[in-house]
Amino acid sequence: MGYYVTVEKGVNVYVEDVGSGKPVVLIHGWPVNHNMFEYQTSQLPKYGYRTISIDLRGFGKSDRPWQGYSYDRMADDIHEVLETLRLKNVRLIGFSMGGAIAIRYMARHAGKRVSQLILVDAAAPAFTQRPGFPYGFTKAEIDALLEQNDKDRPQLLTDFGNIFFAQSISDSFRNWFQLLGLEADSHATYETLKSLRDEDLRADLAKIHVPTAIFHGKLDKVAPYPLAIAMNEGIKGSLLVPFEHSGHGSFYDEREKFHKELLSFLDSLRYFVGEEEI
């Protein structure tokens, strides 16, 4: 079932809501949409999870306002969805930029309604290099991508797709995945890329106080593996699960392992909070 949630006056975000049971909320990455989780949303309901996928503003079927693409505002959008749906004991899963937004949500909203966090190839704690953090892209490299977005966005997405997966994928799958990016608003693609360039989540990590798993491909060329180590060091008690043969798309590069590790961690929540929903 799909529907819209109003997150601020004049802005509605699209939500895909499948299955019943314990709620899992998924936040996609740049520049795709909720459909990237097709191989998870088709499975999780079989194991008793209500699977809720959100299109961030500017992406997929959500509204495309001119403003509001900071991590703060997008984290507030997530907050509005969780509040509107009155969800409890949420398992929050964020991929890439969605992982960064999930971290900001946990810090900005004190993890309200969330009892478990899964960060998948997250573009955090910082996506670009800066003093004291020599990992990731340079800001000049992101500036070049911003320029390419305004000149030849399809080629930008093709180039991005070429470094995304570490394992062989079919041309059909590659084309499908690129189309997810082409569905995004060009301005939203540009503005969220600026947020990826400029945002710094290092101070947010210590504000996370729920069981957290970090799934990260060791061959990741988009959000390199040292980012996962930094998150693991910054989030007290977090579990780091390396995917030895995965690039940025561990959810597909090692799909069977991903499903196994995800279900194992989701199931472990009962040992922390008991069976009763909170």
Of 34, 53, 62, 96, the catalytic one is 96
CATH number of 2-270: 3.40.50.1820
Q: What is the pLDDT of residue 271?
A: 44
| Dist. CA 264–CA 274, nearest whole Å | 15
Of 55, 115, 248, 253, the catalytic one is 248
Over 60: is that where the pLDDT of 272 sits? Answer: no
Q: Tell me if the bond preceding 211 is cis, omega within 30° of 0.
A: no
Give the number of other Cβ atoms within 10 Å of residue 134's Cβ.
Answer: 8
Q: Which pairing describes strands 2-8 and 22-27: parallel, antiparallel, or unpaired? A: unpaired
Phi, psi of 105 (to 5 degrees): -60, -45
Q: For this structure, is 96 an active site residue?
A: yes
> How does the average pLDDT of the chain come out, rounded?
95
Mean pLDDT of 189-217: 98
- Identity of residue 62: S
Q: For this structure, is 245 an active site residue?
A: no
* pLDDT tens column, 53-63: 999 999 999 99
pTM comes to 0.95
Q: Is pLDDT larger for residue 275 or for residue 64?
A: 64
The residue extents of the domains of the chain are 2-270
Q: For this structure, is 121 an active site residue?
A: no
